[in-house]
DNA sequence: CAAGAATTGATGTGCGCACCTCAAAAATCG
DNA sequence: CGATTTTTGAGGTGCGCACATCAATTCTTG
């Protein structure tokens, strides 16, 4: 039989009450008692029964995901995964919650964070926009005891908050490697499209992309980034101009999560099948593109995994445990038609 | 507050005892009572508190992983992951266990399975070799109530057992796509090396590989599979012969999990940097190969994920629940130097 | 050394459920 | 109809722990 707290008390030569004090960091315990208990824990291999702990505490975890209001297919996918997780975790005393706010307005975001009641939530996972205001607001939220996860995006990493998501520099580098190897020896230009280059994510991806192209595929020439700002008409116009001025486009790299608008635009003026196309994130659109041959590769981070990982991290932090680094790292996936 | 079983009883207009009978499938319950309880469950949104269930049942899950004795780096990785999981799950009432047996002897494997005491284990996860004997032994084990997971390998899928691992046909196809696109337009031969072609895994990968090469990259010519049988000297000799007879080898595909022996052999007779090399599974060797440029891509399935997935499935089955398909599917990962 | 402070012990309660027993009520049957 | 059989109810116990209370013991410190 597994040793219980009672066994532990006996092994430590102390009473159950003192053992309880040590186990739960209660006040009025002598250092000597702490030592004795810890030693006994090691000796008899005591592990708290998490089921009993959970039952006795009888409190549930309250977490909130804060996502943007604007977005397209990937956002829909994310919302879907959060909802899925919500239902799955309902039984495990995890109460999930999603709100969507205009994430590109740092002022409003900061205000939103300031208004969060620390007694209402144990943890917040958020796609945080880049801004000193927001960073400070996050800092204050953390000081009020709310666990914070930077979700998929945002900020030069805060040392006090956890981050869930991929290394965007590496993601960009991976895209570049694929484009370079797929295009082959022949020279050509690479068209790079983003929703916006304002975000740190885009900048990092572009950086990783350029570094690999310059060092390994210098026969390719990267064109300046095109920004769509989520506007289909505008995107289409710009793309037309650029594609007409550059006949030798050998590849297109869409570095934002939403590839539909730029690619549907580009498809009107060029044959995507003939050029190498790499985009980010798995969505119904990018999946179809892979199957059709319009997209050659997708660089993805599994949104379901990301959501679960964020939850695990918030739960661990709430319990004052360390998260399991390995399991919670998000991989940069490379999707081809063959391994969908 | 979350509704408890007591609330449920009240809502159903029955006693706690009857509700308990329904919830736990005990005998002597009228169909009417079952209906009333289920209706009430829907109505008030009752969810059993898993912590309380676990505490009250107070039984732990006993699972065993059965792995091969022979292997190299990937096997070591697997063992490491199982051990890691063992420590991590210890707290969650999961008792793990690993044994290694000579997996290529179907007779011994069948005998081993027959000797397993169904009172000693709730679930077995095994890399099962291909054989009618073994298949029957698995079937009998399942009939005795032991949950069985086909782990990473083996058997035309049994309908009564779960499978954890990748689709090997797709994995082979993915390798072919990468090799085809990386090699480019120029014609050449593809050297294919396996530990053995006896296993279903190897056959399926080869099949997927050939299909993609034939349909999309017909300028490439696949050479007959070379089998190493884990013997370095022998592998080296065969490789030397084949490489001397075929100057135009443009790519090498190692389709077994262990790439070290064949690649170290091939490296003596050819410059791996100049040809496209694709192997399976992430190991210290294949990682180094990627960094050095000796390997261009690794097709991998995350062993840690596989282990956790197998455990989740066995646990769900033991509780008579359905596993969460999405989370437990193992992805075919494509690793490049850039996304390690 | 006495008074106060810090530490420890003994004991009880409750978390939500599984599992058991015994009696009561209801349905079935000859 | 009475005699079974089936179904329900009432109640208790325990799982391992958190948390609270109050008394008893030890340690400080002036």
- Would the Cβ of B16 be found within 7 angstroms of any atom in strand D? yes
CA of A3: nucleotide with nearest C1': D16
Does residue A268 register a pLDDT over 90? no
Query: In angstroms, what separates the C-alpha of A331 from chain B's closest C-alpha?
Result: 8
Band of pLDDT at residue A100, cut at 50, 70 and 90:
very high
Contact yes or no for B333 and A331 at CB 8 A: yes
CA angle B214, B220, B223 (to 5 degrees): 90
- Whether residue B156 is predicted with pLDDT greater than 80 in this model: the reply is no
- Ramachandran sector of residue B330 (left: φ over 0; alpha: ψ -120 to 50; beta: rest): beta
Percent of the residues in chain B that have a pLDDT greater than 90, as a whole number: 73
pLDDT in tens, B286-337: 999 999 999 999 999 999 999 999 999 999 999 888 898 878 889 999 999 9
* CA to C1' distance (Å), from B56 to D13: 11
**Which residues in chain A, range 4-43, keep a C-beta under 7 Å from any nucleic strand D atom?**
4-6, 16-17, 20, 23-24
pLDDT, position A316:
92
pLDDT at residue B276, as a whole number: 95
Kindly determine whether residue B324 and residue A88, on different chains, have CB atoms separated by under 8 Å: yes
Contact yes or no for A339 and B176 at CB 8 A: no
The answer to whether A282 touches A336, Cβ cutoff 8 Å, is no
Across the interface, whether the CB atoms of B336 and A52 are under 8 A apart is answered: no
How large is the angle between the packed helices B31-44 and B16-23, nearest 10 degrees? 90
Between the two ends of chain A, the Cα-to-Cα distance in Å is: 46
Separation of alpha carbons A239 and A227, rounded Å: 10
Mean pLDDT for A111-120 is 93
pLDDT band at B215; cut points 50, 70, 90: very high
Question: Given A52, A91, A181, which is nearest B181 (Cβ)?
Answer: A181
Q: What is the mean pLDDT of chain A?
A: 92
Let me know if B67 is exposed, middle or buried by CB neighbors in 10 A (0-12, 13-18, 19+): buried
- What does the pLDDT read at residue B162? 92
The rounded distance, in Å, linking the Cα atoms of B138 and B103 is: 14
Angstrom distance (rounded) from CA A195 to CA A258: 8
B217/B219 Cα distance (integer angstroms): 5
For A138-185, give the secondary structure using H, E and C: HHHHHHCCCEEEEECCCCCCCCCCEEECCCHHHHHHHHHHHHHHHHCC
Give the mean pLDDT of A223-242. Answer: 88
Phi and psi dihedrals of A133, rounded to 5?
-55, -50
Contact B67, A23 (CB under 8 A): no
CA distance A64 to A121: 7
CB contact under 8 A, A51 and B47: no
* Contact between A339 and B182 using a beta-carbon 8 Å cutoff: no
Q: Which residue is nearest to nucleotide C16 (CA to C1')?
A: B52
Q: What is the CA radius of gyration of chain B?
A: 25
For chain A, say whether B214 makes contact (Cβ under 8 Å). Answer: no
Token pair for residue A144?
């009020």
CA B237 to chain CA centroid, Å, is: 32
Nucleotide nearest to B34 (CA to C1'): D7
pLDDT band for A155, please (50, 70, 90 cuts): low
Smallest CA–CA distance from B308 into chain A, residue: A327
Q: Is B334 helix (H, G, I), strand (E, B) or coil?
A: strand
How close, in Å, is residue A63 to chain B by CA atoms?
17
- What's the CA gap between A3 and A49, in Å, rounded? 10
Share of chain B above pLDDT 70, in %: 99
Specify the DSSP class assigned to residue B335: E
Using CB atoms, which residue from A51, A171, A212 is nearest to B55? A51
Query: Tell me, in Å, how far CA of B57 is from C1' of C28?
Result: 36
A144 touches chain B (CB under 8 A): no
* pLDDT for A19: 94
Closest-approach residue (CA) in chain B for A324: B88
- When the pLDDT of each residue in chain B is averaged and rounded to a whole number, the result is 92
- C-alpha to C-alpha distances, A75 to A253, A272, A281, B236, B322, nearest whole angstrom: 20, 25, 10, 52, 28
pLDDT, position B155: 67
Q: What is the pLDDT of residues A17-43, one digit of tens each?
A: 999 999 999 988 999 999 999 999 999
């Amino acid at each position: 039989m597994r040793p219980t707290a009672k066994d532990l008390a006996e092994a430590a030569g102390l009473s159950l009450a003192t053992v309880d004090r040590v186990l739960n960091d209660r006040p009025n315990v002598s250092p000597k008692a702490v030592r004795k208990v810890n030693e006994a824990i090691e000796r008899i291999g005591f592990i708290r029964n998490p089921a009993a702990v959970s039952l006795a505490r009888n409190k549930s975890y309250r977490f909130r995901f804060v996502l943007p209001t604007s977005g397209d297919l990937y956002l829909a996918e994310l919302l879907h995964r959060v909802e899925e997780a919500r239902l799955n975790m309902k039984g495990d005393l995890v109460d999930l919650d999603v709100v969507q706010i205009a994430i590109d307005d740092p002022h409003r975001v900061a205000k939103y964070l300031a208004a969060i009641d620390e007694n209402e939530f144990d943890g917040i996972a958020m796609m945080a926009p880049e801004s000193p205001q927001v960073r400070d607001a996050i800092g204050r939220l953390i000081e009020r005891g709310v666990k914070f996860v930077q979700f998929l995006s945002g900020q030069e990493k805060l040392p006090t908050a956890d981050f869930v998501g991929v290394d965007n520099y590496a993601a960009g580098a991976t895209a570049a490697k694929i484009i370079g190897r797929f295009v082959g020896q022949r020279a050509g230009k690479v068209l790079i499209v983003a929703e916006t280059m304002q975000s740190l994510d885009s900048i990092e991806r572009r950086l990783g992309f350029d570094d690999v192209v310059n060092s390994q595929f210098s026969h390719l020439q990267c064109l300046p980034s095109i920004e769509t700002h989520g506007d289909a008409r505008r995107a289409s116009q710009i793309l037309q101009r650029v594609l007409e001025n550059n006949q030798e486009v050998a590849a297109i790299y869409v570095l934002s999560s939403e590839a539909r608008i730029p690619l549907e635009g580009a498809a009107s003026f060029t044959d995507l099948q003939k050029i190498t196309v790499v985009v980010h994130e798995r969505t119904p659109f990018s999946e179809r593109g892979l199957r059709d041959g319009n997209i050659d590769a997708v660089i993805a981070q599994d949104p379901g995994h990301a959501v679960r990982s964020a939850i695990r991290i918030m739960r661990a932090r709430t319990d004052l445990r360390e998260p399991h680094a390995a399991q919670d790292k998000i991989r940069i996936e490379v999707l081809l038609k063959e391994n969908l």
